[in-house]
Structure 1
């Protein structure tokens, strides 16, 4: 690996420090830079480079490949062709002409704020405390009082070349160490990385101390009776009931995944008398409202209202929200504006319960919620000192429907087939379940890893990407209470359930004479009753979401084939297979497809086979246990061993739109067992 120029590692370390604290800057927010001198391999001469966080990157996880790399001299020369603020957007297309070598990541719109400033280290952040001053009605006076000119004030200006020019002029004054950007955040600089970090964090701390010392006691007003935070257990149970209905609302334009936040900061804000007034003003910092939309929706039904009443009220609120958003678009759209995007809310606030945030995947939903927490902190600070005064609606529209933002969205990778879907897989810690969880995650689904073995489930969830991609749930599918608790945990973690894969199972072989009643009951309890219990718990969630869904029962070739010494298992699988047909007819009106898969001979990686079933089957067929997979393959039409990944592939085909109008189907994944061909 090519070594980094001196100073770039310092930049990365400083960026990680900022990105680790959401009150300093949130995921994807802000940018940092360093200027270094290197010898150009093309000319052999020294050139000054600017390393700056690229478009779409995150300070907390920034790596060298996330940095744009520009030669400063040609970048500065772009000022000679700058045609004025009316044309500043065209400058972005010129940035690549100053690229050094391959140029690294795509330069962001904030690049001029770094490249035009002479100081070696420049930081642009969105700290809560400073942004509170930036969004206060008398922000200029407060900034002047606090810093006495050491930190400048800059009136709201959309990011771009003009703002970069203005910051460059301010930074030429050796007495000035930073600037508060009205309605936006903070930009500061230093001659060394240590100085830049010290100044940035010092400004942030000074602003926080100033707010704490000067703030009124209750910036959000008094607590509204009936809006107080409910007790935690009651609050979370209610959130799980509401989440599918709220997800339906948030998915009115496109399918969304959810995240729930009931922190003290959120619950206090939701309980106060200024809630409606402040929500209506919307967020201010561009990074905030680009993630949260121009404002949240507030569910105004009583905290204990019947769900039918909540559902009816949400339909009204959604219609109002969409009408308001459409009117907002029509008020400000110009002939060349991008088409209106989704008009559903990204944030839904429920007094007494918490905040529900939504996005195309769980990470996006979580980050949207974090940004609104930042917005709450900003509003509290501004209201505590003065009055919260965000940038105008017209300016918000100009950023939200900025062609440069539209271009940025267009560069995003195309969504994967299962993006926006939540898949719950039982028995997901090994074998077929593990392969299925991995494949569905690979194709964009957020995963609920359900298994009796919680420790192993947590390992699998971590492997799949951790809390932003997967959640581990301990689930005994034979226990209705455990299943209900697991479904509630899944809903609270990810917003709902779209795909259920009933894979949990085990086998206790035996003939009629050998099978005890306990053996019979135990196998029916897990595979037949378990599939029923999970489907019964998940179906109301799917129905409330109004997004359709899939239920997949992992059955068995034994459901239709009379194998030897396997009475209870085969009977349980036959019942599980017929359940597919019954549920398909019952749930079809809600757009929920129900299908099954009949695997055979899935030996490798199988928890069932490794638990004694393999040895039993090998003895029955007179082969070595290590050769059991080959034996199963030898008796098939295709002579191929069936692997867990083959079964997972069938689950994917049934859920990714390939078989969009297929329900009630049992798919053999057995390499062709002629005796088990369906008739």
Structure 2
């Protein structure tokens, strides 16, 4: 909440809005609001509009509430993200409401109010919008307003900041009772344009979409300006710790990430996110860190993502310190569960922290997937902003413990969790694929991403790698894909590639050593340069990247899977390719050595042997293809048919086939008890049968 922050921008475009109907205007407004995280956090907030529409059965005009449905994000949602409900039926629910003890039962009645057979489930916030006597309602979670809402003198500060145009209600969980209270305060105070809900956020309203949007922006900006004018002292008591130089910060992060991941990821694999922004550093370095961090967050939306409280970890924490801190946190969480549980509460969930605050370094967050880890970190940044604002003008107040528990273990929240789809086999796993710009590498990356893994692709060809990365990002999103240029023959570059993988995702579980090349020449004409080049890429390259990944796997203590992409030629020689065959054989045998040494630590190592994978391969686009075609006395375009007919099954082998074999080896369900093995994917080649 620094004074230098740019003011909120009114991005409403009358020309664009002119062509939209009322649902379209609601979506437009929602996307504009959700695009700025100062207005509301990811997945947080709701918007609504009451729209007159023809009843699908009678054709008569009826009033329909369009309101953001359960789940989804305002910034990226589309029209199908809104629930639609008959206002007349929602009004009738008031007569069925029996008080706070029956709040959850009312949620089960919302589907009976659905308009137009809309499959989008209505959220618990529906009554907060339905009963307000205005056509358009925004409910946002802006840091600036929550800072006021989370202050000890929240009610008095709300009046001081907003005067008579904004009302105030004490915090309570969303539901019918809160919806009725909002209706009452709005009707009794027609001059109000909104309400601050203590500890939580902001409601604003109007009778047209643009006015509602502009009111929301104006009120948030007013809160921001008021805080900026008063927050002039050093935040969080000023720095108690100096930020470490960037290189030292990175060393600390690379040391902490795999060790924490290993300690919290045995029951469920975790992915990490790192934030060492100025906002985070100001907090973790502050004199009041030890005082404020245990208070947790105030806004339930923040809390649900970040857990009851964060864990403070020294930058130089050794293994014993990590063990002690994590065990103390788990015991504290178990105590919180036992103190607050109800007879029908769900079983205790993962007791490990989500947010790790490292003075001098920054913040680490862990979750089952990258997006959740990143968003948890973003939510805690929201919480930092709230604490900064609240402590600058008053005393910050976190969510009471019992209330926090009742939200975290809310039976409705539990039901929502139970409806989530089963995680994919590689959810929470981190994979590194060398030769990621080529046909096999790129296709393998796609296969692993499709099964839930986070994937780093590396290649020495920066331009081709950028193209591969762009395609993977387009298909799977930025969160789960990263690309790092690296030459597998260079020790320093492979160390950096593995370090970048750890920094991006927290560790490494899967290595696919795929980088390759091939040269052809009769043995007597094989140059030393070609011999060394094949050995460097195909054998030394596997050694260098596998050794670095193996070290991380040992540190994590979570096992791991290393798959080397070999070749039929690793088992059966071909004339005119001695350098290639010998290097592939060396890589195969090295992989079995890794299997032997990795077994006590649960690290498996296996080999996939392709043959004649021409499609999409950069190896087969040059001299190697010419040489192999010449050896069979055919033209380049006839070579694939030669290989097809040579195979026992008379079938071509494609990159997708190799990717499928890799997935077989890295999937615990299919090959968790396989190591030191070789899987030929060559459509059948008798001379390459393993024996």
**TM-score tier after normalising by the smaller chain length:** over 0.9
Asked if the contact 2:204–2:212 (Cα under 8 Å) also holds between the matched residues in 1, the reply is: yes
4+ runs deviating over 6 angstroms: none
Superposition deviation, residue 215 in structure 1: 2.2
Aligned-partner Cα distance in 2 for 1:546–1:12: 47
Q: Which residue of 1 aligns with 2:532?
A: 521
Of residues 227, 231, 236, the one that matches 1:215 is: 231
- Asked whether the equivalents of residues 454 and 472 of structure 1 are also in contact (C-alpha less than 8 Å), the reply is no
Write out aligned runs for 1:116-131 (5 A). 116-131=131-146
Cα distance per residue 1:433-477 (max 9 Å; x no partner): 111000000010011011122333333333333421101110111
Report the counterpart of residue 265 of structure 2 in structure 1: 251
SS in 2 for 1:672: coil
1:345 Cα deviation from its structure 2 partner: 0.7
Structure 2 Cα separation of the partners of residues 586 and 241 of structure 1: 23
SS at match of 2:482: strand
Residue 123 of structure 2 corresponds to 108
Q: C-alpha displacement at 1:102, in angstroms?
A: 2.0
Secondary structure of the equivalent of 2:431?
strand
1:584 is displaced (CA, Å) by 0.4
Of 410, 419, 424 in structure 2, the residue corresponding to residue 402 of structure 1 is 410
Alpha-carbon shift at residue 104 of structure 1 (Å): 3.8
Q: Check if 1:185 corresponds to 2:196.
A: no
**Distance in 2 separating the partners of 1:14 and 1:540:** 50
Q: Which residue of 2 aligns with 1:473?
A: 484
Residue 66 (structure 2) aligns with: 51
Q: How far 1:216 sits from its partner (Å)?
A: 4.8
Conserved? CA contact 1:250–1:346, under 8 Å = no
Shift of 1:252: 5.0
Partner of residue 353, structure 1: 361
Q: Of residues 275, 289, 296 in structure 2, which corresponds to 1:275?
A: 289
CA shift digits 1:551-607 (9 cap, x unpaired):
100000000111111110110000000011100011112211111111101111111
Distance in 1 between residues matched to 2:263 and 2:141, nearest whole Å: 30
> Which of residues 448, 461, 466 is equivalent to 1:458?
466
- For residues 663 and 559 of structure 1, what CA distance do their matches in structure 2 show? 18
Question: Which whole-Å CA distance do the structure 2 matches of 1:378 and 1:463 have between them?
Answer: 38
Measured in 2, the distance between the counterparts of 1:627 and 1:333 equals 71
TM-score (norm 2): 0.95
CA contact (8 A) 1:332 1:397 kept: yes
Given that 1:220 and 1:275 are in contact with CA atoms closer than 8 Å, whether structure 2 keeps it comes out as: yes
User: Deviation string for 1:519-546 (max 9, x for gaps)?
Assistant: 1111111110011000111112112222
User: What do the CA deviations read for 1:134-168 (whole angstroms, capped 9, x no partner)?
Assistant: 10010100001111231111101101111111112
Match of 1:612 in 2: 623
Structure 2: state its 5+ residue gaps: 1-18
User: Shift of the alpha carbon at 1:35?
Assistant: 1.3
**What is the Cα deviation at residue 408 of structure 1?**
1.0
Is 1:536 the counterpart of 2:547 in the alignment?
yes
| Alignment match, 1:338 | 346
The total of aligned residue pairs comes to: 668
Indicate the SS of the match to 1:103.
coil
Structure 2 distance, partners of 1:384, 1:250, is 35
Alignment match, 2:435: 427
Q: Return the offset for 1:630.
A: 2.1
**TM-score for the superposition, normalised by structure 1:** 0.97
Q: How big is each residue's C-alpha offset from its partner over 1:330-378, in whole Å with a ceiling of 9 and x where there is no partner?
A: 0011110111110011111111111111111111110000000000000
1:667 corresponds in structure 2 to: 679
Q: Distance in 1 between matches of 2:426 and 2:345?
A: 30
